[in-house]
Amino acid sequence: MALPRKKQFLYEVSGSTPDDLWLDCGTTDSATRMIQNMFGKKIFETIKPIELIIRMLKLACGKESIILDFMAGSGTTGHAVLKLNKEDSGNRKFILCTNNENNNGNGYKIAEDVCYPRIKKVIEGYKNLKGEKVEGLGGNLKYFKTDFVNYDEPTDRNKIKLTEEATEMLCIKEGTFEKVLGPENVKVFKNCDHYTAIIFDQLAIPSFKEAIKGIKGKFSVYVFSLGDETFDDEFEDTKSKIRLSPIPEAILRVYRRIFK
Ligand SMILES: C[S@@+](CC[C@H](N)C(=O)[O-])C[C@H]1O[C@@H](n2cnc3c(N)ncnc32)[C@H](O)[C@@H]1O
C-alpha cells in the first residue's frame, strides 16, 4: 500500500516555468507576411515567427549571450536577437550558419537570397509593401563563406589562404574588423574598444612595438609560432597596453600540419 505523500507541482520547486501552450507567439502566416513585406514578394511559407524565438531567448539567455543557430535557414534567430536587443537594450550577439540550399522550388538560395539580405534589411531598415519606411534596428553584420583548406597539400597558395582565414577567425573572436596599417608581417584591426594585432613573423615584434609607441588604446596581440613560446619576455616593457593571447589550438593544429 502506497504511503501518503504531498503532491508538489513544478512551479513550487523551480520558480517560474514556461507555459505549456504558447498561443501568443505569432504564426507561420504572420511570419510569411512579414518576410513578404520585407522582400516585396512571397519568398517561402515555412518561416517561424520571431515572437516565438524571442520568447525562447528570454527564457534561456542573458543580455550578453552569444546565440548560435547552426542551421539558420531564413535567419529568424538573428532577426529575433536584434529585435530583443532593441527592446531591452541588450548586447546579445548571434552566429548564424546555414547551407545555401534551394529546395523550396522557388529559385531562392537560402543563405545568399534570404538569410543575409534579411538580416541586412533588419539592421539598416527597408521599405515595406506599401512603400513605407521601416526603421532599421541597428547592429552590425559580417558575412563569411566557409570552405575547406586542403592541408594535405602544403602549397604556397594553401599557406597564404590559411593565413588569411586564420586572420579573419581571430578578428571574429576579438570583434575587431576595421583594418589599420601595420608594419610588415603584422596585421592590425580595431573596433571602438581595442586593437587586435596578428604578428606572422616573430622577427617583426620590435617594429610592431615601435609602431604602437604613440598609440593610445589596448592591443590584443597574437604571435604566430608553431612552437610553445609565449613571447612574454618580448612584451615585458609594453605589458600595460598589451594582452598577449595564444593562437587558438584548433588553428595551430592545422598550421602545424601545413607548415611542417
Ligand atoms: C528549419 S530551417 C531553419 C530554421 C531556423 N533555425 C529557425 O529557427 O528559424 C533548417 C535550415 O537548415 C539548413 N541546413 C540544412 N542542412 C544544413 C547543414 N548541413 N549545414 C547548415 N545548414 C543546413 C537549411 O538551409 C534549412 O533552411
Nearest CA owner, ligand 1 atom 5: 72
Q: Residue 110: its pLDDT value, please? A: 93
pLDDT digits (tens, 9 = 90+) for 202-246: 899 999 999 999 888 999 999 887 777 788 999 999 989 999 987
d(CA 253, CA 251) in angstroms, rounded, equals 5
CB of residue 112 inside a 6 A radius of ligand 1:
no
Name the closest-CA residue to atom 24, ligand 1: 73
Indicate the average pLDDT of the chain. 87
Q: Which residue's CA is the nearest one to ligand 1's atom 27? A: 73
Ligand 1 and 73: CB distance under 6 A: yes
| Range 38-46 average pLDDT | 85
The rounded Cα 110 to chain-centroid distance in angstroms is 18
27 CA from centroid of ligand 1 (Å): 19
Tell whether the torsion through CA atoms of 104, 108, 112 and 115 is positive or negative.
negative
Are the CB atoms for 195 and 188 separated by under 8 Å? yes
Instruction: Tally Cβ neighbours within 10 Å of residue 77.
Output: 25
| Binding site membership of 28 for ligand 1 (Cβ less than 6 Å) | no
Domain layout of the chain by residue ranges:
22-135, 156-258
**Binding site membership of 26 for ligand 1 (Cβ less than 6 Å):** no
Position 169 pLDDT exceeds 80: yes
State whether the Cα torsion 20-23-27-30 is positive or negative. negative
User: Would you say 84 and 54 are in contact if contact means Cβ atoms under 8 Å apart?
Assistant: yes
Give the long-range contacts of residues 234-239, CB within 8 A, separation 24 or more. Answer: 234/202, 234/205, 235/205, 235/209, 237/209, 238/209, 238/212
Q: How many CB atoms lie within 10 A of CB 99?
A: 12
Kindly indicate whether the domain formed by 156-258 is annotated with CATH number 3.40.1350: yes
**Residue 154: pLDDT above 90?**
no
Question: What is the distance in A from the centroid of ligand 1 to the CA of 111?
Answer: 10
Ligand 1 contacts CB of residue 69 (under 6 A): yes
Using one digit for the tens of pLDDT, what is the confidence trace for 57-91? Answer: 999 999 999 999 999 999 999 999 999 999 999 99
Where do runs of H (alpha helix) occur along the chain? Answer: 10-14, 28-39, 50-60, 76-88, 116-124, 156-174, 205-211, 249-258
Specify the ligand 1 atom closest to the Cα of 97. 21
pLDDT for 247: 78
| pTM (2 d.p.) | 0.79
Nearest CA to ligand 1 atom 14: 71
Average pLDDT over residues 89-117: 90
| Residue with CA nearest ligand 1 atom 2 | 73
